[in-house]
Structures are given as structure tokens and as C-alpha cells.
Amino acid sequence: MKTMEESIWKKNKILIKGFVIGILILLLLIPMEFVKELIYEREARQKEAIREVSSKWSGKQNFTGPIVVLPYWHEQMDTSNKIKRIKMFAHILPDELVINSTVKPQQRSRGIYKIMLYTSMNHIRGVFKEFPAQLNIDSGKIIWPEAFVRIDLGDTKGLNEELKLKWNDTVFAMSPKVFTDAYGNESLVSSLNLTGIHDLKNINFSADINLSGTEQLLFTPVGKQTSVIINSIWPHPSFTGNILPQSSVITKTGFSATWKSMAHNRSYPQHWKEGSYNLNTSAFGVDLFIPVNGYQKTLRSVKYAALCILLTFAAFFLVETINKKPVHPFHYGLIGLAMVLFYILLLSFSEYISFNFSYVIAATCTIGLISWFVKGILSSVKLTIVLSLVLLLMYAYIFTLLQLQDYALFLGSIGLFIMLAVVMHFSKKLKDNVT
């Protein structure tokens, strides 16, 4: 009877141990959730540091304008069939707009976090050719003395000098009185002192704007034809917005980029009345990002944690079973915790150095620790080398997936297929251990 019980236990021992290891894998996913929360918390602290510094400096900038705004009287019947006059506004965008921007970056630190600030010298020029007849507004109903020009900024606190707009031979000082529209734009305005339609014909305008901001500088292409050139000594630009630059040059000493936009590429017209549009949807420009930030890549790597633990445990299980060197499940748990600590090491190092270098250091430490531990358990240099190579290939594979984001699914599916084939091949040897 005892012999039969021992035989049943021997035949099912591998199955039972495999089940226990599966439970361990699921339990190890719990601390991985805490690692995710830690990444979110550190990223939130960085964003809070950026907000704190930018509140004292200036936030992200989006330059929009100039835009001519014409108040006019609109007549309509009220409920008592009397004519009622309502003040409405017509908006006219320039026919041509050219912007040249030179951006000077400044890195600031808030604790361990680095924050990218900048100052920019922006020269704008352009033309309003004529009053658009398509507006279908009787010139006699336009309130010409109240006509004004507006320029929108992401954060007016970033203005380092008074904004003066040259309007043909006249110079207008944009009013320090700021109002915010429905889309969050802060606008500076100036009265145009118009007397009639003829005052809106062949207007040449220009301005020099000294503007500070944090991380991002955008320009809205309000011109029927808009050209933007941005130059900077910062070597790590990230072009963003509605369109990419038509041409760009990036070197170790800086970058230069040129955009050209036409009115038909936008979602709003060149002039309109009785309504509003979110002009920000067409904005484009550059992010001056700091490449050390690795929170998003670390978070992406965590998504492969279950795969890493599963493959490691599978390799460890096959090695110990085939070579008849039993390992206690507690040892599996310790190896799993070492793999969880890999992500904490990766997160902590990536806050100070580049993500790639951090990955190499964290992987080296983790592989070294597990190899040292496995050598003491299995008492075999050969088997330790085998498991170390498995870990090395696995971390190299995950690193490749992180670098080739566009081909991650393609490479991942092929890699998983090959891994499954390898496991299936070696698992055939388990038959000899259960018979």
C-alpha cells in the first residue's frame, strides 16, 4: 500500500509543484502592481516639480495671432416682432504670416528632477490684404472705433518686454489687460482706431517678442500662408503638433526646423462671424525634452514582468527536474522577488542617468544576484551558466522590444513562438522523470 502511495506521489509530484509555481507567479504580480504605483507616484512628483517651477517662470507657450476683431450690430426680430440689435464679432486672419524664432534653453533642477525652461526671441511679420467681402457685413453696421487686434499666448507671464505691434507706420502697445477666451487662451489686445474698410487694405505688420516658457513652444498658423522657422542650441528636440516640419536639421550643437502651412490644412476658415473656433488644434512646434526621463519606458518594461517571471521559472523548473536537483518553492519566491527588484533598480537609476544605461546596470545586478543564488542551490557551474544565459537572453529580448516600439508586436509574437518551441522541446525530457 505504501509503495502504491509513493508511486502516485512520484507521478504527480511534478504536476503539483508546477501548480505551486503557477500560484507563486500570480502572487508575484501583486508586488508588481506596487511597482507600477511607485512609477506613477515618481512621475507625478516630477510633473508637480515642473508645475511649481513653471508657475514662477512661465508655462508652455502657444503663440496665436495677430487677429483683427470687428464688432458689428446684428439685427433680428424679438418675440414682440420688434427689431433688436445685438453686438456680434467678426474675426479676420492675416493673408501672410512669417515667424522666425530663436530658442535659448535653460535647464533648472528641483530636487532630483530636471526641468527644461527657455527664452525665445520671435520676429513676426505679415500682411492683411483687404477686408473680406465674404463676411457679408454692411460696413455701416461695423462699430469701427471699437475694432481691435488680438494676440494669444499660452501664458502671458512669459512676456519679458512690452509687446508692441507695428501696424504699417503706427506702433500699437498691446494692452496689459488680459482676458481668457473659451479655449483657455490668454489674449493681449490693442485698439486699431479704424474708420472704415479702407483702413484694412494692404496692412503690413511686424513685432519682436521676447517670450519665456517651459518645455514646449507652439505657433498657430493663422495666416492663409504661414511659414515658421525655429532655431536652437538644444540637441534633443521633439517636433509636435498638427504637422511636422517640412525640413529639419538636428546635430549635437542644436537644431533648425522649418514649417509651411496653408489655410486648407486647418479646421477653421480665414474669417468668420457669429461663432468661435479652437485655433489651437492646428498649432505646431517643438518640445525641448530632457532624454534622461525614463518613467514611460520603465512602465512599458513592467508590462513584460509576468512574461519574464514565467520564462525564468519555466527554465528553472525544467533544469531542476531534468537534472534531478529538487529546489524548494521558497527559493522560487526569492528569485521572483529579485526579478521584481529589477524594476525598482531600473526606476531609481533612470532618474539620474539614461534609461538604456540604467537598464544595463539593473539587468546586470539582477542576473548576477540570481546566478550567485542558483549556484549555491544547484551546486553546478554548468547549470548556473545555462540559467544565466537564459536570463541574459530574456532581458536582451525585452530591451529590444522597448527600443523597437513600432515593431514590438511583430518581434514579440515571433519571440514568444520560439520560446514556446524551446520549452516544448525540453519538456519532452520530463517524461523520463515521471515514469
In terms of domains, do 37 and 105 share one? no
In terms of domains, do 132 and 273 share one? yes
- The pLDDT of residue 210 is 95
In terms of domains, do 300 and 269 share one? no
- The pLDDT of residue 303 is 81
Residue 52 located in a structural domain: no
Query: Residue 57 above 70 pLDDT?
Result: yes
Residue 253 located in a structural domain: yes
pLDDT in tens, 342-373: 988 988 888 888 888 888 999 999 999 988 98
**Across the chain, what does the average pLDDT equal?**
83
CA distance 54 to 38: 24
Query: Residue 94 above 90 pLDDT?
Result: yes
Query: Residue 1 above 50 pLDDT?
Result: no
Q: Which of 288, 310, 340 corresponds to the end of one domain?
A: 288
Q: What is the mean pLDDT of residues 182-206?
A: 86
Q: What is the pTM of this model?
A: 0.73
In terms of domains, do 302 and 394 share one? yes
Q: Which of 288, 317, 339 corresponds to the end of one domain?
A: 288
In terms of domains, do 215 and 357 share one? no
Residue 54 located in a structural domain: no
Report the candidate in 71, 358, 65, 106 with the shortest Cα–Cα distance to residue 212: 106
- The pLDDT of residue 399 is 85
- The pLDDT of residue 410 is 61
Strand-strand pairing, 216-219 and 254-262: unpaired
Residue 304 located in a structural domain: yes
Residue 53 located in a structural domain: no
| Structural domains in the chain (count) | 2
| 66 and 94 Cβ atoms separated by less than 8 Å | yes
Out of 2-6, 262-266, 427-431, which region has the weakest mean confidence (pLDDT)? 2-6
Report the candidate in 269, 67, 258 with the shortest Cα–Cα distance to residue 165: 67
| 366 and 342 Cβ atoms separated by less than 8 Å | yes
Q: Kindly give, in sequence order, each residue whose CB lies less than 8 Å from that of residue 8, ignoring residues fewer than 6 positions away.
A: none
What is the number of alpha carbons within 13 Å of residue 87 lying toward its C-beta? Answer: 7
Residue 421 located in a structural domain: yes
In terms of domains, do 14 and 64 share one? no
In terms of domains, do 366 and 316 share one? yes
Q: Locate 121 and state its grid cell.
A: 526671441
In terms of domains, do 228 and 370 share one? no
312-348 CB burial, b ≥16 within 10 A, e <16 = bbbbbbbbbbbeeeebeeebbeebbebbbbbbbbbbe
Residue 252 located in a structural domain: yes
CA distance 401 to 415: 10
Residue 110 located in a structural domain: yes
Q: Which of 288, 320, 344 corresponds to the end of one domain?
A: 288
Query: Residue 230 above 90 pLDDT?
Result: yes
Query: pLDDT: is 37 or 111 the higher one?
Result: 37
In terms of domains, do 29 and 67 share one? no
In terms of domains, do 138 and 270 share one? yes
pLDDT in tens, 271-316: 998 777 889 899 999 998 776 567 878 888 888 788 788 888 887 8
3 state DSSP class of 427: helix
pLDDT in tens, 243-253: 999 999 999 89
The H or E element containing residue 117 is: strand 113-128
In terms of domains, do 357 and 270 share one? no
In terms of domains, do 82 and 151 share one? yes
Residue 335 structural domain: 2-47+295-434
Query: Residue 433 above 60 pLDDT?
Result: no
Query: Residue 219 above 50 pLDDT?
Result: yes
Provide the CATH number for the domain around residue 115: 2.60.40
